Copies of this chain bind each other. A is one copy, B any other.
């Protein structure tokens, strides 16, 4: 199946709001909250309702277009579903950077064996102080 359109492929309709939100994710360097999306300039002319943002995020998650993460902020953030990775967050300025290290397969096998759980996914997030904030 040739991928011509991410919306058609996911079996959902292509609308101006969805195209704008997808484009926001495609150009964002960090995971975004529902608020980040709503206040993004690319949505300025469409000014979708808050509810529509939440519903779009849920639809995109269900379609496997984006992924939902938590960074100890008491809210969710979302980012494009892409190669597996994690994050490191600066506790001083809030900067979020991707991490490509992960727990090894061997450890996951041990966890499965010891707990009896099958593992579907995991989260791994680091919190610290970035170089800029340390020198500032």
| A residues in contact (CB < 8 Å) with B | 68, 70, 72, 74-76, 88, 90-91, 97, 99, 101, 103, 107, 110-112, 115-131, 134
**Min C-beta distance of A29 to chain B, whole Å:** 14
Q: Are A129 and B118 in contact (CB under 8 A)?
A: yes
Q: Are A128 and B118 in contact (CB under 8 A)?
A: yes
Total copies of the chain: 2
A48 to B112, alpha carbons, bound, how many Å? 40
**Min C-beta distance of A92 to chain B, whole Å:** 10
Interface-centre pick from A68, A97, A116, A120 (highest chain B CB count, 10 A):
A116
Q: Are B72 and A123 in contact (CB under 8 A)?
A: yes
Chain B residue contacts of A74, Cβ below 8 A: 70, 75-76
Q: Are B101 and A110 in contact (CB under 8 A)?
A: yes
Q: Are A130 and B115 in contact (CB under 8 A)?
A: yes
Chain B residue contacts of A122, Cβ below 8 A: 124-127
What is the chain B residue whose CB lies nearest that of A107?
Answer: B101
What is the chain B residue whose CB lies nearest that of A112?
Answer: B128
Which 5 residue pairs spanning A and B have beta carbons closest together? A116-B131, A119-B128, A117-B128, A70-B70, A122-B126
What is the chain B residue whose CB lies nearest that of A125?
Answer: B123
